[in-house]
């Protein structure tokens, strides 16, 4: 059983976890009315310490031929800047090139920056396919796609990839919706293996603070998902995604862990996120901790919902 995009959006807004001001709501409504139907999931990205702040809004499409046509047509209606053209080049390849057929999901992120949502969204490509466990296949696909999506950073992409063979790359993305254009790898690995990987990459961020954070996280999960951004150089920023919470049994955001997290991040989780699980559609969430280049730790929540009715 599947709800339409407007129904899902309304259901998601009904959650008591949501606190969006009217300006943001109006702008999001415009985005929702314009994006193609047949969405696979949506996500609200919110800071947990400033819950009323504007949110980034993400939408996911399954790569069926019809969806690819709809998405391509939607992107064509945007300002035809070079980034929109790159997205459509990628979609064209997804439709016609066998090497691209393993991509099942694509994401758009409408990023809120400088008081408005981006026109051309940030673009994310899922590489979650069993055949991509062949790293040479995955690697050559990413390089090929990066030639289309971020040729400016191609050398860095090629330089970084070999070190990531010990990880599972689940997504790569391009911040077309941000003022600063960057590429990003999102990958899974064992929590305590991250520091040695970063040393191999000659990462210049605050390793001491990161290790403190990882030593806290390892008590709830021996695996994390990491977002590593780059342009022509590797960013000092790093993002750590904690595990999914899709039921109350999985909720690790409890006193003991939150207390340890607060000592490292100096941030307070001010909102109870568990009501997000009460919606009638499939839902889940996690938190992501970002270590910035200024050695600050910010925490965001990612509230996902899909148009499929909750299974009993």
Helix (H, G, I), strand (E, B) or coil at 279: coil
Region label for 263, one of left (φ > 0), alpha (ψ between -120 and 50) or beta (otherwise): alpha
Name which position in 18, 38, 231, 290 contacts another protein (CB under 8 A).
38
Whole-number minimum distance, CB 47 to another protein, in Å?
Answer: 18
Whole-number minimum distance, CB 279 to another protein, in Å?
Answer: 11
If one asks whether residue 263 binds another protein (CB under 8 A), the answer comes out as no
If one asks whether residue 216 binds another protein (CB under 8 A), the answer comes out as no
Name which position in 60, 71, 87, 120 contacts another protein (CB under 8 A).
60
Minimal CA–CA distance to 99: which of 69, 136, 66? Answer: 136
Nearer to another protein, 82 or 96 (CB): 96
Q: How far apart (Å, rounded) are the C-alpha atoms in residues 104 and 124?
A: 12
Name which position in 65, 130, 294, 312 contacts another protein (CB under 8 A).
65
If one asks whether residue 181 binds another protein (CB under 8 A), the answer comes out as no
Q: How far apart (Å, rounded) are the C-alpha atoms in residues 141 and 277?
A: 36
Structure tokens, 312: 């009993």
Nearer to another protein, 64 or 259 (CB): 64
Provide DSSP, 91-137. Answer: HHHHHH-GGGTT--EEEEEE-EETTEE-SSPEEEEE---GGGGSHHH
Nearer to another protein, 154 or 252 (CB): 252
- Cβ neighbourhood burial of 210 (10 Å; 0-12, 13-18, 19+): buried
Name which position in 14, 16, 34, 37 contacts another protein (CB under 8 A).
37
CA angle 284, 266, 240 (to 5 degrees): 40
Whole-number minimum distance, CB 171 to another protein, in Å?
Answer: 7
If one asks whether residue 223 binds another protein (CB under 8 A), the answer comes out as no
Q: Which helix (H) or strand (E) holds 232?
A: none
Q: How far apart (Å, rounded) are the C-alpha atoms in residues 38 and 66?
A: 9
Whole-number minimum distance, CB 191 to another protein, in Å?
Answer: 18
Name which position in 27, 40, 103, 265 contacts another protein (CB under 8 A).
40
- Cβ neighbourhood burial of 38 (10 Å; 0-12, 13-18, 19+): middle
If one asks whether residue 306 binds another protein (CB under 8 A), the answer comes out as yes
Query: Given the rule CB under 8 A, which of 26-34, 61-69, 151-159, 187-195 is the region that contacts another protein?
Result: 61-69
Instruction: Looking at residues 132 to 171 of the shown chain, list those that interact with another protein (rule: CB under 8 A).
Output: 170-171
Whole-number minimum distance, CB 83 to another protein, in Å?
Answer: 22
Nearer to another protein, 1 or 248 (CB): 1
If one asks whether residue 309 binds another protein (CB under 8 A), the answer comes out as yes
Q: How far is CA 135 from the centre of its chain?
A: 22
Residues that bind another protein (CB under 8 A): 1-4, 37-38, 40-41, 43, 60, 62, 64-67, 69, 104-105, 107, 126, 128, 170-171, 244, 246, 282-284, 302, 304-309
């Amino acid at each position: 059983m599947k709800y339409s995009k407007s129904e899902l959006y309304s259901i998601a807004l009904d959650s008591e976890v949501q606190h969006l001001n009217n300006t943001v709501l109006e702008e999001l409504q415009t985005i929702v009315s314009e994006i193609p139907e047949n969405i696979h999931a949506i996500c609200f990205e919110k800071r947990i310490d400033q819950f009323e702040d504007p949110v980034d809004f993400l939408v996911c499409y399954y790569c069926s031929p019809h969806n690819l046509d709809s998405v391509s047509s939607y992107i064509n209606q945007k300002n035809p800047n070079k980034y929109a053209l790159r997205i459509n080049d990628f979609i064209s390849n997804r439709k016609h090139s066998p090497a691209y057929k393993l991509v099942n999901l694509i994401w758009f992120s409408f990023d809120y920056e400088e008081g408005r949502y981006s026109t051309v969204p940030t673009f994310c490509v899922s590489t979650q396919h069993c055949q991509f466990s062949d790293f040479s296949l995955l690697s050559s696909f990413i390089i090929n796609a990066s030639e289309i999506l971020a040729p400016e950073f191609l050398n860095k992409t090629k330089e970084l990839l070999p070190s990531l063979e010990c990880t599972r790359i689940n997504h790569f993305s391009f911040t077309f919706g941000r003022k600063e254009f960057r590429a990003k790898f999102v990958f899974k690995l064992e929590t305590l293996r991250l520091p040695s990987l970063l040393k191999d990459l000659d990462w210049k961020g605050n390793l001491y603070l990161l290790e403190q954070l990882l030593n806290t996280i390892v008590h709830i999960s021996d695996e994390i998902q990491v977002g590593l951004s780059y342009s022509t150089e590797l960013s000092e920023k790093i993002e750590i995604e904690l595990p999914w919470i899709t039921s109350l049994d999985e909720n690790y955001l409890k006193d003991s862990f939150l207390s340890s997290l607060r000592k490292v991040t100096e941030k307070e989780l001010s909102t109870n996120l568990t009501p997000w699980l009460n919606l009638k559609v499939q839902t889940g969430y996690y938190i992501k901790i970002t270590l910035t280049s200024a050695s600050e730790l910010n925490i965001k929540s990612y509230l996902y919902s899909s148009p499929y009715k909750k299974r009993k």
